[in-house]
Amino acid sequence: MAEQKPGAGNDDELLANAIPIDDLSDDVLEAEEVDEQDVDAIEMEDDDGEEIDLSAPVTGGKEIRKFDHHREHTENWKRPTNKDGTGATHVRTFVSKLRLDAIEHLEEQVNEWLDNHPDYEVKHVTSSVGVLTGKLQEEAMFLTVWV
């Protein structure tokens, strides 16, 4: 027969030493019937009386905002870019968190950057996923664009 650890017992011993719990069934409240005519509507100060469509998509809420406006990327490159299909002369890396909204924002950033620089011709692109270390460590996607 296997030895039991000190203080370990079978279920009956454990239940015998357990702290009793009072029967709470007497404390249960019963629901009251309420007539809708007896219920007053709550007035809201900003209520313009328009119906709210609860099936409509939610707007606002979480959105990605750029806090780093003072560090706007400027290109002070000495080498001219080329659009003749030959090798890349410059590189730019974009970073995104691994969330769908952040990746969509990354796409907007890359497209905006390319739209603002019509003289750039993309020669090569790589992407990788790794850990971005800052105040916190979190997985991120790194997109490197050679122009």
- Per the domain annotation, does 114 fall within a domain? yes
Instruction: State the virtual CA torsion across 99, 100, 105, 108 in degrees, nearest 10.
Output: 140
- Per the domain annotation, does 132 fall within a domain? yes
- Per the domain annotation, does 90 fall within a domain? yes
- Per the domain annotation, does 53 fall within a domain? no
Angle at 104 between CA 102 and CA 110, to 5 degrees: 100
Note the pLDDT tens digit of each residue in 48-58: 666 666 666 66
- Per the domain annotation, does 30 fall within a domain? no
- Per the domain annotation, does 96 fall within a domain? yes
Cα 73 from Cα 10, distance rounded (Å): 70
Domain that holds residue 126: 81-146
- At 128, the amino acid letter reads S
What's the pLDDT score for residue 70?
A: 40
pLDDT at 111 over 90: yes
Note the pLDDT tens digit of each residue in 10-47: 778 877 777 777 666 666 677 777 776 666 666 666 65
Cα 74 from Cα 117, distance rounded (Å): 11
Q: Which residues pair with 125 in a beta bridge?
A: 145
What's the pLDDT score for residue 17?
A: 78
What's the pLDDT score for residue 141?
A: 95
**pTM of the entire structure?**
0.49
Per the structure, the count of domains in the chain is: 1
Cβ contacts of residue 131 below 8 Å, gap of 6+? 137, 138, 139, 140
- Per the domain annotation, does 11 fall within a domain? no
What's the pLDDT score for residue 69?
A: 46
- Per the domain annotation, does 55 fall within a domain? no
Structure token pair of residue 29: 């409240």
Long-range contacts of 134-142 (CB under 8 A, 24+ apart): 138/97, 138/98, 139/97, 139/98, 140/95, 140/96, 140/97, 140/98, 141/95, 141/96, 141/97, 141/98, 141/103, 141/106, 142/93, 142/94, 142/95
Nearest to 96 by CA among 127, 144, 141, 143: 141
